């Protein structure tokens, strides 16, 4: 009995297989080169560090310092208010800039480039760097954290808001203009109703990010729970660190749940 003829694999599949193999080999070589160039500690150093430091940390986690709980909750509320104000500042400035950076609303797409450049420049600076600058300028405290989060939120929200504006349906715009409306009418009755729900949803998402960022900014003196967390870490007070971490996790879980529910209602 004659054997069935098996046709060769298509050229596209053979090419894709070679590409996947080449990518895998390239990633493996990159990993080897990276490991070879890094100044990694010796195995003995890692083992010594783990055996020396892990037991006290675990002991602190097993014996939390509950007396710190009221203070931890109070400074976590301060962190929450910092995140709220930073988000509001970012949203207020990002709202007008996003329209100036939208090519479909400007008379010429070229005129939107300055706004896009401003948003890119603002996003370039990480929040921690901005916090260090403002701590040096205004002194330690929540003001520096609010300003750092606010400025970074301008770049983040402005980029997302601008993408939302550029993705709107142009049909209502054309209908309003065909009926004799001007640019203000288009903005008020076509653009704004289309973008506001997504603006609100992304503003809530940015608030979630700012809440997490606020806990880190305190490590450089920008107020909030991060400030006392850094102090407890310096003195290796693991029982108190445990309480602070529990409060942070609890607040983040609650805020994420509420924010996700609100964003679903806006969708």
- pLDDT, average across residues 58-66: 88
CA–CA separation, 261 and 255 (whole Å): 10
| Structural domains counted in the chain | 1
- Please write down the long-range contacts of 187-196, taking CB distance under 8 Å and 24 or more positions apart: 187/99, 187/105, 191/99, 191/105, 191/165, 194/168, 194/169, 195/161, 195/164, 195/165, 195/168
pLDDT tens digits, 134-159: 999 988 889 999 999 999 999 999 99
Say if residue 90's pLDDT is above 60: yes
Task: Name residue, tokens 């142009």.
Answer: 170
Is residue 156 situated within a structural domain? yes
**CB of 87 closer than 8 Å to CB of 207:** yes
Phi and psi at 33, nearest 5°, equal -65, -40
Is residue 56 situated within a structural domain? no
**CB of 200 closer than 8 Å to CB of 259:** no
Q: Burial letters for 130-167: b for 16+ Cβ neighbours within 10 Å, e otherwise? A: bbbbbbeeeebbbbbbbbbbbbbbbbbbbbbbbebbee
Q: Which domain holds residue 165?
A: 62-266
Is residue 42 situated within a structural domain? no
Say if residue 1's pLDDT is above 60: no
Is residue 22 situated within a structural domain? no
Q: pTM above the 0.75 mark?
A: yes
The percent of residues in the chain predicted with pLDDT above 70, rounded, is 97
- pLDDT, average across residues 157-173: 89
Is residue 185 situated within a structural domain? yes
pLDDT (0 to 100) of residue 152: 94
Confidence bin at 6 (pLDDT 50/70/90) = low
**CB of 149 closer than 8 Å to CB of 86:** yes
Is residue 149 situated within a structural domain? yes
Is residue 44 situated within a structural domain? no
Nearest to 76 by CA among 259, 260, 258, 253: 253
For the domain that residue 124 is a member of, what is the CATH number? 1.10.3720.10
Is residue 32 situated within a structural domain? no
Q: CA separation (Å) from 68 to 75, 214, 255?
A: 11, 20, 22
């Amino acid at each position: 009995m004659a054997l069935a003829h098996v046709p060769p694999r298509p050229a596209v599949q053979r090419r894709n297989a070679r590409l996947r193999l080449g990518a895998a080999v390239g990633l493996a070589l990159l990993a080897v080169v990276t490991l070879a160039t890094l100044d990694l500690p010796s195995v003995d150093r890692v083992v010594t560090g783990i055996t020396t430091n892990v037991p006290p940390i675990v002991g602190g986690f097993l014996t939390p310092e509950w007396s710190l709980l009221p203070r931890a909750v109070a400074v976590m509320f301060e962190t929450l208010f910092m995140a709220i104000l930073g988000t509001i500042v970012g949203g207020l400035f990002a709202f007008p800039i996003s329209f100036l950076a939208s090519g479909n609303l400007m008379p010429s797409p070229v005129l939107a480039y300055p706004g896009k450049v401003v948003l890119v420049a603002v996003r370039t600076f990480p929040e921690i760097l901005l916090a260090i600058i403002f701590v040096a300028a205004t002194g330690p405290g929540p003001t520096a954290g609010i300003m750092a989060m606010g400025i970074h939120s301008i770049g983040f929200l402005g980029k997302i808001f601008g993408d939302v504006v550029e993705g709107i349906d142009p049909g209502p715009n054309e209908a309003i203009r065909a009926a004799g409306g001007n640019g203000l009418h288009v903005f008020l009755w076509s653009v704004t109703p289309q973008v506001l729900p997504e603006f609100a949803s992304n503003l809530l998402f940015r608030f979630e990010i700012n809440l997490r960022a606020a806990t880190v900014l305190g490590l450089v003196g920008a107020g909030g729970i991060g400030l006392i967390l850094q102090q407890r870490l310096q003195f290796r007070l693991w029982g108190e660190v445990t309480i602070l971490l529990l409060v942070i996790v609890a607040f983040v879980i609650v805020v994420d749940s509420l924010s996700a529910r609100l964003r679903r209602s806006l969708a």
